[in-house]
Amino acid sequence: MVLAIVDRVEDDVLVLVTHTKPNREIHLPCSLFQGMNEGDVVRITVEKDEEKRKDIEKDIKDQRTRLKRVNL
């Protein structure tokens, strides 16, 4: 988990600055975070989803297989 503050909004992008040193900027689309304003403090959590990754890899493999069958 990372704590960050909304530093500013630029061209529909939230610019967050992390609380921990060294400070880092994180840029995220405003459309994902309605109602966020400069000065708001946010908590960011990122989780790895191995099951979803396997599903996406299978979908890509299936699409590649189908593309190989196309006669050009």
pTM of the model: 0.67
Q: Rounded to an integer, what distance in angstroms lies between the CA atom of residue 38 and that of residue 28?
A: 13
Q: What is the pLDDT of residue 68?
A: 84
- Token pair of 14, please? 């939230």
pLDDT tens string, the chain, 72 residues long: the values are 899 999 999 999 999 999 988 999 999 999 988 889 999 999 999 999 999 999 999 999 999 998 887 666
User: CA triplet 65, 66, 68: central angle to 5 degrees?
Assistant: 65
Assess whether the previous peptide bond of 29 is cis (omega < 30° from 0).
no
Q: What are phi and psi of 30, to 5 degrees?
A: -60, -30
